[in-house]
Every structure is written in structure tokens, then in C-alpha cells.
Amino acid sequence: YSRVAEFVLLGLSSSRELQYFFLVFFNFLYIAIVLGNLLIILTVISEPTLHTPMYIMLSNLSILDVFLATYATPKMIHDFLHEHKTISFEGCMAQIFLLHVFAGGEMMLLVAMAYDRYVAICKPLHYATIMNLCKCTGLVVGSWVIGVMHSLSQLAFTVNLPFCGPNVVDSYYCDLTVVIKLACTDTYVPEVLMLLDSGLMGLTSFLLLLISYVVILVTVQHQSSTGIAKARSTLTAHITVVTLFFGPCIFIYAWPFSNFPVDKVLSVFSTVFTPILNPIIYTLRNKEVKSAMHKLKGRYLRSRLP
Ligand SMILES: *[C@@H]1O[C@H](CO)[C@@H](O)[C@H](O)[C@H]1NC(C)=O
């Protein structure tokens, strides 16, 4: 058989007017994602008091967010201007690879951050001995390694599938769940492998996060009321991000055998809305980060004075 050279993307919507609206909307959103997350990275790097595991991981989450928003969104924005949207076979495989590296890395980092909060809130006296910058580096590097290994294992059984003809992808990027169905073979086994690989990874980390939140909430019940209020507001933030990120992933990957038309709309939540939520929720509401940003601004303005 001869392998298809390119895939046709149907995009988010076929309506012309809607595409112009999306073009403007996603353009603004993408710029906001990049600037918001860069601001967080810059603030954490430049402020020595923020060189703690929690903020180091937060700024690494921002790095992942920028990548997560970049592997498909700029192409989608560019495609809004074109009637006929295509992507080469290699580009398609690259998108699948990058999606799983970044999403897998982000899941692992969210679990690492929840672990850090669990130790800080539930074992405050042992925090300094359990968590330190060295261990934090290990957790960050570990998240990337797991993301890459997960993605490689996923791609290993995808690139060699026979893609011989059907090449219409009803989405704005190459999502594995859609692409796998285009193979000219019985896709039952690849789909089960995908379910085991991606579905299990998403579900496991989601459950780990839920358990850590429950344990934290139960622990703070016995603490002072300010402790409860603080933990509640942190947890509400975490849970919002986690639900918006994992909800769509689990919905799309845990039921891979049937494709729902809402799948591509749900993907927007994981790849566009989560990356913008992180700067808003985790950081801009956070006192320490806000005061660090003020200091940064002050330093910048002073350096501009004659
Ligand atoms: C990301 O994590 C690594 C390892 O802990 C750390 O050295 C680096 O400074 C972090 N990146 C940012 C932007 O904070």
C-alpha cells in the first residue's frame, strides 16, 4: 500500500463567520497565555524568596503550559484563514508526540505539586526534610521523563499502522483517538493499547490528585480556621484546574471506541483554557507572587529613570 502523504483537518467549525470570530478570539487568548506564563517564569526566576519547591514547580508548570498551548493552537489560528486545511503525515505524528509529552508531563507535575502541598499542609514539621530543591528538581525532571516515555510508547504502535487512504481528521489537530481510526486495519488492538496507555495514565494521576485533596481537606479540619480558609482557597484553585484539564482528557481517552462530535470542543479546554487558567488561578491571586511582581515592576521602572 502507499502511505497517505497528508491529512485533511476539518477544523473547529465549518462556518465562515464563526472562523473569523475564532481567529480573533484564539489569537488574543494565545498571546495572553504566552505573556501570562512568561510573566510567572520571570517573576519566579528574579525573586529569590520564591526559590522554593512550590514556586519552582509552578514556574515549570508555566513552561509546560506555553508548550501545551503551542503545539497545535498557532496552526489552528493560521488555518482559520484557509478553506482547505491540511497537515503532513510527519507533522501529524509530531503533533501526537508533542501532545502526549506535554500533557503527560503536565499531569505528572500536577501530581508532584499536590504531593508538595500535601507534605506542607499535613506534615509541616517534616517539610524541610522531605522536600528540598534537590528533590524538587528530581520531580520536575521525572515529570518530563515520564511524559517522553509515555509519548514514545504511544507513538511506537501508531507510526507503523497502515494509513492507506482515509485521511480526514474531524478536529483542528491530529488527535490520536481520531487518527488511529483511519488506519486500514482492525484498530481494536491499537485502541485497547491506547486506552491502557493514555487512559490509565490520566485516570491514575486524576485519582492520586483527588486522594491528596481529600487527605488535605480532612487534615485541615482539625487545624485553626485561618488554616482551613487558606487550604480551601488553594484547593479550590487546584481542583478547578485539574477538573478542566483532566475532565476532557478522560472523557476523550477513556471512551476511545466511540467518537463524539464534542471531543474536539473538549480538547480546547485542555490545550487552551487550562494554560490560561494556571497564571490566573495559581498566581495572580497569590499574595507572595503579587508582591514579587510589584518589586519586579519597581526595579524595572527604576532602571529606566535617568
Ligand atoms: C524548573 O525546574 C528546574 C528543576 O527544579 C529548575 O532548576 C528551574 O529553575 C525551573 N524553571 C523555572 C523557570 O523556574
Which residue's CA is the closest to the ligand 1 atom numbered 5? 137
Class of residue 139 by CB neighbours under 10 A (exposed 0-12, middle 13-18, buried 19+):
buried
Mean pLDDT for all residues in the chain: 87
The three-class DSSP label of residue 6 is strand
pLDDT of residue 93: 93
**Distance, CA 23 to ligand 1 centroid (Å)?**
33
Q: pLDDT digits over 69-109, tens only?
A: 998 899 999 998 888 899 999 999 999 999 999 999 999 99
**Distance, CA 55 to ligand 1 centroid (Å)?**
9
pLDDT of residue 82: 86
Which residue's CA is the closest to the ligand 1 atom numbered 4? 137
pLDDT of residue 268: 85
Q: pLDDT digits over 41-69, tens only?
A: 999 999 898 899 989 999 999 999 999 99
Which residue's CA is the closest to the ligand 1 atom numbered 7? 137
pLDDT greater at residue 262 or residue 190: 190
First to last CA, the chain: 70
Enumerate residues 6+ apart whose C-beta is below 8 A from 73. 26, 30, 271, 272
CA-to-CA distance for 105 and 153, rounded, in angstroms?
Answer: 14
Which residue's CA is the closest to the ligand 1 atom numbered 8? 56
Q: What CA–CA distances, in Å, run from 96 to 141, 144, 151, 249?
A: 21, 16, 8, 14
pLDDT of residue 256: 59
The three-class DSSP label of residue 297 is helix
Atom of ligand 1 nearest to the CA of 141: 4
Enumerate residues 6+ apart whose C-beta is below 8 A from 52. 133
Instruction: Please say if the pLDDT value at position 123 is more than 90.
Output: no
Residues with CB under 6 A from ligand 1: 41, 44-45, 56, 59-60, 136-137, 140
pLDDT of residue 89: 92
Which amino acid belongs to residue 69?
A: A
pLDDT of residue 152: 95
Enumerate residues 6+ apart whose C-beta is below 8 A from 248. 266, 267, 269, 270
Class of CATH domain 6-304: mainly alpha
Q: What is the mean pLDDT of residues 140-160?
A: 93
pLDDT of residue 121: 85
**Distance, CA 252 to ligand 1 centroid (Å)?**
31
Q: What is the mean pLDDT of residues 6-30?
A: 89
**Sequence spans of domains, the chain:** 6-304
The pTM (predicted TM-score) of the whole model is 0.90
**Distance, CA 57 to ligand 1 centroid (Å)?**
7
Instruction: Please say if the pLDDT value at position 132 is more than 70.
Output: yes
C-alpha cell at 177: 483517538
Kindly indicate the confidence band of residue 186, based on its pLDDT and cuts at 50, 70 and 90: confident
Atom of ligand 1 nearest to the CA of 45: 14
| Minimum mean pLDDT range among 159-168, 190-199, 215-224, 281-290 | 281-290
Percent of the chain with pLDDT over 90: 35
Kindly indicate the confidence band of residue 282, based on its pLDDT and cuts at 50, 70 and 90: low
pLDDT of residue 27: 94
Kindly indicate the confidence band of residue 257, based on its pLDDT and cuts at 50, 70 and 90: low
Instruction: Please say if the pLDDT value at position 241 is more than 90.
Output: no
**Distance, CA 181 to ligand 1 centroid (Å)?**
39
Atom of ligand 1 nearest to the CA of 60: 1
CA dihedral 157, 162, 167, 172 (to 10 degrees): 10
Provide the 8-state DSSP code for 19: H
Cβ–Cβ under 8 Å, residues 133 and 141: no
**Distance, CA 138 to ligand 1 centroid (Å)?**
10
Instruction: Please say if the pLDDT value at position 271 is more than 90.
Output: no
Kindly indicate the confidence band of residue 13, based on its pLDDT and cuts at 50, 70 and 90: confident
Which residue's CA is the closest to the ligand 1 atom numbered 1? 60
Phi/psi class of residue 161: alpha, beta or left (left: φ > 0; alpha: ψ in -120 to 50)? beta
Query: How many C-beta neighbours within 10 Å does residue 200 have?
Result: 12
Atom of ligand 1 nearest to the CA of 137: 5
